[in-house]
Amino acid sequence: MGHSQLMSTVISQEQAESLDTGGEQRAPDRGGVPAVVWRAFWSSRLVVLLCGMFGVLQFGLAPGYSGFDPSGLTTPFGYFGNLLAAPFARWDSVWYLSIARFGYQHQLARTAFFPLYPALIHLLGTGGVGGDLVAGVVISLVCFVVALILLHRLVLLDFGQEIADTTVLLVAFFPASFFFSAVYTESLFLMLSLGCILQARRGRWWAAGVLGGLAATSRNGGVLLALPVAILFLYGPRADLRARETRWAAAGRARMRSLLPRYRLSAEVLWIALIPAGLAAYLVYTAITSGSALDPLNAEKLWFHHTTNPFTGAWDGAVAAWDGLRQLLHGPAPPVYFNQAGGDPLQVGGQNLMLFSFLVAGVVACIGALRTLPFAYGAYALVGLALPLADPVIPQPLSSLPRYVMVLFPMFIWGARLLVRRRWTTVGIATGAVVLGLFTAEFATWRFVA
């Protein structure tokens, strides 16, 4: 960063906050790229590349795969080039590449994919199909490296070096982390959301608002960043100011004092409005180009999403998992224990069980984050998990849940603390790496994972 004097001041102010971090000793942020970031990046991406290529060579592409990419946007090269690209461009990659190359073209289905990422692909690409694909992968990889750096620095503000290192490794080897190098928005969104929270922690509210607004133009969950940023503004921890000392707060009961904001409102709070403004800008764009500002929301119905409450979504996921277990115990159909399901019932049943396991892990991590991390972090994990549960897919309620969970960084901070405390770090990372390899092989061969 080259801001050593400023950073030392920021960290000294942050340490004066007396934040309860569970006994971990804070480490200063000295800038630069930590060695663990490079190790996590290169080793995890090597797993993705090799397992994806091996999956294609060993198992071949799934029958009927060409129907998902009739224009060949994910296979613009020769045999070996397409083999190298296999772990990076599948499924939703087709939509992002289509938008980058041809625009939205008044197609309702395309508006479900937010514009920032395909716009960057269009700007960086050389104009050809292959150039767009390479541009998308490069953007994802660069954003992933930056995201890991920001994550490491954010964790260092509150916890020790070991927990920061472990958090980075957990994210890099998360079973669905192959999306971080694919032509998907995950790495871009993670970078922007981490940058938003880190700038809020440092009291740079204009930067937090700008980054949060950009995150809101990359995917619909970006608008949720307004909640943790607002909590940080009012309750901290903050590095720009000391918590206020108020006589009227001190005179209240201890429980009431904990509910009162620790920092006074100021005009800087208006910067937070830039976060929902990012979403509003996209809705205005669709209103101008297609005549309906609600197209990005209405498009979700084309993907079989329906709006409900998070508890109903979680219950539907549990029912789907139970039906999947029944299908696996029974064996091949008939009967089929699903009201709606595409493909082999045994595979769908296994997917539903897998997705439910991610839900259980996510709920446990969310509770852990609420109990042990700064409240702003736990609140973000809670609403981030609730959003996909409130918008489930009818045939498969928890579809894509691992992708939504993998950008909720507070869950990984809590997980890192647990692994370090229990001395399970090596086992946890190794397990994640094995499952990551299996999931990548499925993804690369056009077999749906998440």
- Quick check: is 256 in a domain? no
pLDDT tens, residue by residue, 363-395: 999 999 999 999 999 999 999 999 999 999 988
Q: What range defines the domain where residue 381 resides?
A: 4-243+262-295+304-444
Residues 82-96: tens digit of each pLDDT:
999 999 999 999 999
- Residue 393, classed as helix, strand or coil, is strand
pLDDT of residue 450: 77
Residue 207 placed within a domain = yes
Query: Structurally, how many domains does the chain consist of?
Result: 1
Phi-psi region of 338 (alpha: psi -120 to 50; beta: other; left: phi over 0): beta
pLDDT for residue 335 = 83
Q: Is residue 450 in a domain?
A: no
**What is the distance between the alpha carbons of residues 264 and 154, in angstroms, rounded to a whole number?**
24
Question: Residue 305, SS3?
Answer: strand
Give dist(CA 96, CA 344) in Å, integer.
28
The residues with which 116 forms a beta bridge, in sequence order, are none
Q: Give the mean model confidence (pLDDT) for residues 43-72.
A: 95
Domain assignment present for residue 257? The answer is no
Q: Assess if residue 252 is contained within a domain.
A: no
Q: Is there a domain that residue 418 lies in?
A: yes
Instruction: With respect to residue 116, please indicate whether it lies within any of the assigned structural domains.
Output: yes
The residue among 397, 300, 389 whose CA lies nearest residue 340 is 397
pLDDT at 19: 39
**Residue located via tokens 């060409």:** 66
Averaged pLDDT, 230-236: 94
Structural tokens at position 450: 């998440």
Examine residue 190 and state whether it is found in any structural domain, yes or no.
Answer: yes
Flag whether pLDDT at 343 surpasses 80.
no
pTM: 0.90
